[in-house]
Amino acid sequence: MMMGRPAHSRAGSFRPENLGQNAIAMIGNVCFTLFVVGVLVFTIIAATYQPEDPLFHPSTEITSFLTSVSNSTFKSDDSLVKTGEDFMPANQTAFASFINITDIDVPSIADTGSDCDGDVNKPIDCKDPEVFHMMMSFAIDHFKDTHFYRFGKPVRGSNDSTCDMAWRFRPKEGKAAAFYKDYRRFVVSRSENCTYSVVSIGEYHTGVNARKKKKNQKAGFEKTPESQNQAGLLPVVGETVNDNLPIVESEKSFSHGKYLIYSGGGDRCKSMNHYLWSFMCALGEAQYLNRTLVMDLSLCLSSIYTSSNQDEEGKDFRFYFDFEHLKESASVLDQEQFWKDWNEWQKKDGLNLHLVEDFKVTPMKLADVKDTLVMRKFGSVEPDNYWYRVCEGETESVVQRPWHLIWKSRRLMDIVSAIATRLNWDFDSVHVVRGEKARNKELWPNLDADTSPDALISSLRNKIDEGRNVYISTDETDISFFNPLKDKYSTHFLNDYRDLWDENSEWYSDTTKLNSGVPVEFDGYMRVSVDTEVFLRGKKQVETFNDLTNDCKDGVNTCSVSAS
């Protein structure tokens, strides 16, 4: 009886009248099973997936990302770090309509003849709309590889027959998310029937009278107002730089402020990549705590960038980075000025200092500190005295490094723009690594042969058209080494443009003023910055590793590691 009842129940369940219920139950079970499996798979994917956005990567991966360039030759020598403008998509400016020659209304002879007195020697009125429109049309027709976004009003040049005019532009095939500014001197003539023509146009930045003294002045010709507004969010290379130190205007505003300062530590005289990784941790903590970061603008340049092969103190932050953008985008003060104000008002206003001597004290634990100044003091034992240790561990997911606040020096980028402009923004670029690596046959057995002139000519034959302008970025000190390439290409090197930083240059004048009248050396980091940025503006870019040689960038048997 006990054994028969279950059998009877099973047999009954397969009766014809129960088949519909069984089918529904079976389908329900299958659907539920699929649902459970789907949830399980989704959970596994969500738990293991790492998005491509570098800000979501752990610190070891973001360090690798920030110090890499494309595929990239520049990665392993710890020479140049990516900064905020490198993360901006190039199409960020695509929405801004550029100016076509058809947008410009050029008056006809009939429109202007009634006021003509026939005096061809009369001074040119640069404010005349006809002159303005004629100069715009000439510039658009002359620079065919350029998209123009805005023209400034012409002003008188060096004499009665010249006019200076500025404009904002991007190269048609530009890969960087930036606007560039140029200003040139036009020689203008008037015919007997009072029509105007451009006799000649000067070199890059010759029209100095058209250089604006203040940003965001509303004047000139632009296709859409949005382009001007958007440009304020992007680097504008060629504008007058205002990187004067910010000051606290009154005792009251100083005493009501909240400040963060990092003191001491072992980050000094390290590579620029190391410095920025630590500095951005401090800036990120200051923003998290809603405090003003008190920063030391005097840097120590590592010996890897100096001609003396010694660490060099006294280098200004503003030589290398865009301090104007930083001070406009974040709350920062110069350390020297801060201590003057602190010493003057600290006792009088009862300002308190909260000292932190252990990097393991997280920013989260300091969020409720009410004292005016939080000072993190770092000891002498490396690596526990590196600033970036503050942002490790649980802090990594809370405090974000604000990379968008750090841009490269616009003075250096102006040199980049000048070189690219002299090449009409129509050139290809090749990076040739030789130096110590070419001499080390154990780690790079083929590099020396693969970067010889004959090998380069053979490798470039199918990559770059004969007769093209080719910018060669290289660590090879003997530039004559590349002379055989001149039969196929018009070759250009960084030192061909040294007039852009010599004692007669605008860069030299500006940096000397910034450095209290002491001339500034165009050092190794500046050279690498400019050389790399010019390379990246080539229409075609040929790298040493992957393109010219099969050797691994970091030595034998490291190709898979380098690619990761």
Query: What is 336-358 written as a DSSP string?
Result: HHHHHHHHHHHHHHT--EEEE--
User: Is 480 within the bounds of a domain?
Assistant: yes
Whether 424 and 384 share a structural domain: no
Contact by Cβ (8 Å): 364, 395: yes
CA dihedral 307, 309, 311, 316 (to 10 degrees): 10
Whether residues 418 and 526 fall in one domain: yes
Could you tell me if residue 233 is inside a domain?
Answer: no
**426 and 383 co-located in one domain:** no
Look-up: residue for tokens 């920063």? 295
> Which of 168-177, 205-214, 461-470 shows the highest mean pLDDT?
461-470
Domain that holds residue 337: 245-391
Q: How distant is the alpha carbon of residue 199 from its chain centre?
A: 37
Summarize the confidence of residues 352-362 as an average pLDDT: 97
Give the integer Cα–Cα distance in Å for 156 and 152.
Answer: 13
| Residue appearing with tokens 């800036």 | 283
Both tokens assigned to 257: 């402020």
Under the banding of pLDDT at 50, 70 and 90, the label for residue 563 is very low
In a domain, 49, yes or no: no
Does residue 13 lie in a domain region?
A: no
Last residue of some domain: 152, 187, 210? Answer: 210
- Residue 65: per-residue pLDDT: 39
* pLDDT(49) > 80: no
pLDDT at 68 over 90: no
Task: Please check whether residues 380 and 269 belong to one and the same domain.
Answer: yes
In a domain, 64, yes or no: no
Q: Mean pLDDT throughout 312-336?
A: 96
Residues 381 and 418 in one domain: no
Q: State the average pLDDT over residues 261-265.
A: 97
Do 375 and 509 lie in one domain? The reply is no
DSSP character at residue 387: G
String of b and e for 337-353 (b: at least 16 CB within 10 Å)?
Answer: ebeebbeebbeeeebee
* Same domain, yes or no: 535 and 463: yes
pLDDT in tens, 405-437: 999 999 999 999 999 999 999 999 999 999 899
- Tokens coding 177: 């998310």
* Three state DSSP letters for 420-473: HHHCCCCCEEEEECCHHHHHCCCCCCCHHHHCCHHHHHHHHCCCCCCCCEEEEE
Q: What is the pTM of this model?
A: 0.81
Any domain includes 9: no
In this structure, the answer to whether residues 387 and 326 fall within a common structural domain is yes
Q: What is the pLDDT of residue 222?
A: 65
On whether both 295 and 324 belong to a single domain, the answer is yes
Q: Identify whether 473 is part of a domain.
A: yes
Does 82 reside within a domain?
no
Confidence of residue 14 (pLDDT cuts 50, 70, 90): very low
Query: What mean pLDDT comes out for the span 11-34?
Result: 57
The residues that bridge with 150 in the sheet, in sequence order, are 168, 222
In the predicted model, what is the mean pLDDT of the chain? 83
Dihedral (Cα; 443, 444, 446, 449), 10-degree rounding = -130
- What pLDDT does 17 receive? 52
Lowest mean pLDDT among 509-513, 542-546, 558-562: 558-562
pLDDT confidence of residue 175 = 77
Distance CA 203, CA 419 (A): 11
Q: In which band, very low, low, confident or very high, does the pLDDT at 32 lie, cut at 50, 70 and 90?
A: low
Q: Which residues contact 169 (CB under 8 A, 6 or more apart)?
A: 143, 146, 147, 148, 149, 179, 180, 181, 182
Q: In which residue are the tokens 């910055």 written?
A: 529
Q: Are residues 501 and 450 in the same domain?
A: yes
Nearest Cα residue to 375 out of 266, 298, 282, 256: 282
Shared domain for 345 and 418, answered yes or no, is no
Instruction: Report the pLDDT value the prediction gives residue 92, as an integer from 0 to 100.
Output: 58
Determine which of 161-175, 303-317, 453-467 has the lowest per-residue pLDDT on average.
161-175
| Total structural domains within the chain | 3
pLDDT (mean) for 146-170: 94
The confidence score (pLDDT) of residue 424 equals 92
Q: Which residues pair with 184 in a beta bridge?
A: 165
Residue 227, pLDDT > 60, answer: no
Higher pLDDT pick, 552 / 39: 552
Query: Do 384 and 435 share a domain, yes or no?
Result: no
User: If you average pLDDT over residues 20-33, what whole number do you get?
Assistant: 62
User: Which tens digits make up the pLDDT trace of 176-214?
Assistant: 778 899 999 999 998 877 788 999 999 999 999 998 765
